[in-house]
Amino acid sequence: QITLKESGPALVKHTQTLTLTCTFSGFSLNTDGEGVGWIRQPPGKALEWLALVYWNDDKRYTPSLKSRLTITKDTSKNQVVLTVTNMDSEDTATYYCAAYYGSSGYRRVADYWGQGTLVTVSS
């Protein structure tokens, strides 16, 4: 059974750096085709894909936020970490981590999702 859980601060201040951790189980992120990504949803708005890291440490970012995002994996801890620098009110959102799993190669759809964590940016 694949599960994911996000953890991190619920509140960050304007210009601070946000660090979120995704702890997963049921897969290793060491096998061809496996990936973990981050997707966010501002209140009342649509989903936005942010970043992905694959089993081979290939990392991908959404172009509009690439300069502010860093994704890393620690397979010994079954964790993936996302950092977002220079947080602004527009970054207030529920942040989800998701597993890209179920086929070889670079899976591009999120098969399993965590429950999400709401992050609010204060001024």
For position 35 contacting other proteins by CB under 8 A, the verdict is: no
End-to-end CA distance of the chain: 40
Among 15, 26, 56, 102, binds other proteins (CB under 8 A): 102
Q: Look-up: residue for tokens 């799993």?
A: 101
Size of the residue set binding other proteins (CB under 8 A): 22
| Nearest C-alpha neighbor of 119 from the set 1, 8, 22, 5 | 8
Q: Which is nearer to other proteins, 16 or 94 (CB)?
A: 94
Structure tokens at 76: 């010994």
What's the rounded Cα separation, in Å, for the pair 41 and 32?
29
| 3-class DSSP assignment, residue 90 | helix
Instruction: Give the ranges where the chain is alpha helix by DSSP (H).
Output: none
Sole window of 15-23, 75-83, 85-93, 107-115 interacting with other proteins (rule: CB under 8 A): 107-115
Cβ 72 to other proteins shortest distance, Å: 17
Residue among 13 and 58 whose Cβ is closer to other proteins: 58
Name the minimum Å distance from CB 121 to other proteins: 21
| Chain positions contacting other proteins, by CB under 8 A | 39, 45-49, 52, 60, 62-64, 96, 102, 106, 108-111, 113-116
